[in-house]
Amino acid sequence: MSTFRKRFLANKTAVFCSILLALLCLTAVLAPVLAPHDPTQMFQDHRMEGSSGEFLLGTDQFGRDLLSRIIYGARVSLVVGLSAVLVSVVFGTLFGLIAGYFGRWIDGFIMRCMDVLFAFPEILLALAIVAVLGPGTFNTIMAIGIVNIPIFTRTVRGAVLSIKNLEYVESARAIGASTPRILFQEILPNVTAPLLVQSSLAISGAILTESALSFLGLGIQPPDPSWGGMISEARRYMELAPGMIIWPCVAMTVTILACNMFGDAVRDILDPRHRGK
């Protein structure tokens, strides 16, 4: 682990991105302290204003403070992104372990189901799930979570296949370890590396999907601020109040970029083929 830490600290991108992400998390957690106003409070006399001392990034069509909405929006994005990925990681890992370890018809059955899910474009499947469950934060998380399950299942299954016949697994089996013990204590720790890389990439995907759903009005419901929803609303006022669309876009771009670059960097660090560069 100490070698991992050394390599991590030596990788400038990884360090820079993790600082950015940490700041973002901090913003999300401290939103009530940082935000100058209640994100849903409407200042009737300050509709669609530019930057000012009171409203640093200006206001939207209802006179709500944009900065506060973006800060609270970070919360929504991160909560949805992380929870959705957690859902996919839990189910994906479980399915992947079972499919990879037991093989035969169980493997066939699980992987064919995953292929079916895979066959749908991501956003289309998420839309269909939301249409069935109804809009809302929890349902958005579930929809995005379900959509991402196949990727994790595949990742974990692949890793399990290459690990399950190694000597240490054989020996665990030889001393009579139970199947759950072998699965969760012997094999699982060794698939964490690909899982970590996949997760950090999936988070940015999940944030994007959430924005897309909110953009279509089917994700986070107003007046809760969500970057995607803000962009969607601002679109109609693009020329009257450009700040309304620019700032959420900037916030989103920075976050997605940080997540993606962080994921790439972690992969470089963990992947033996990239070492020594």
Interacting residues toward another protein by CB under 8 A: 40-42, 44, 47, 61-63, 120, 124-125, 127-129, 131-136, 216-218, 221-223, 233, 235-240
Residue number with CB closer to another protein (166 or 240) = 240
Least Cβ distance, residue 124 to another protein (angstroms): 6
Residue number with CB closer to another protein (127 or 259) = 127
Least Cβ distance, residue 238 to another protein (angstroms): 7
Residue number with CB closer to another protein (131 or 257) = 131
Least Cβ distance, residue 95 to another protein (angstroms): 23
Residues near 134 by beta carbon (within 8 Å), at least 6 away in sequence: none
State how far Cα 172 lies from the chain centre.
35
CA distance 277 to 269: 10
For CA atoms 221, 222, 227, 229, the dihedral sign is positive
CA distance 231 to 250: 11
Least Cβ distance, residue 104 to another protein (angstroms): 32
DSSP 184: I
Residue number with CB closer to another protein (190 or 221) = 221
Least Cβ distance, residue 242 to another protein (angstroms): 12
What are the C-alpha distances in Å from 151 to residues 80, 120, 131, 197? 18, 13, 23, 12
CA distance 172 to 181: 9
**Interhelix angle for 104-119 vs 66-102, to 10°?**
150
CA distance 259 to 89: 17
Least Cβ distance, residue 165 to another protein (angstroms): 40
255 burial (CB, 10 Å; 0-12 / 13-18 / 19+) is buried
Residues near 41 by beta carbon (within 8 Å), at least 6 away in sequence: 64, 65
Least Cβ distance, residue 199 to another protein (angstroms): 27
Least Cβ distance, residue 54 to another protein (angstroms): 19
Residue number with CB closer to another protein (135 or 194) = 135
Residue number with CB closer to another protein (39 or 100) = 39
Residue number with CB closer to another protein (37 or 173) = 37
Residue number with CB closer to another protein (191 or 245) = 245
CA distance 21 to 19: 5
CA distance 206 to 81: 5
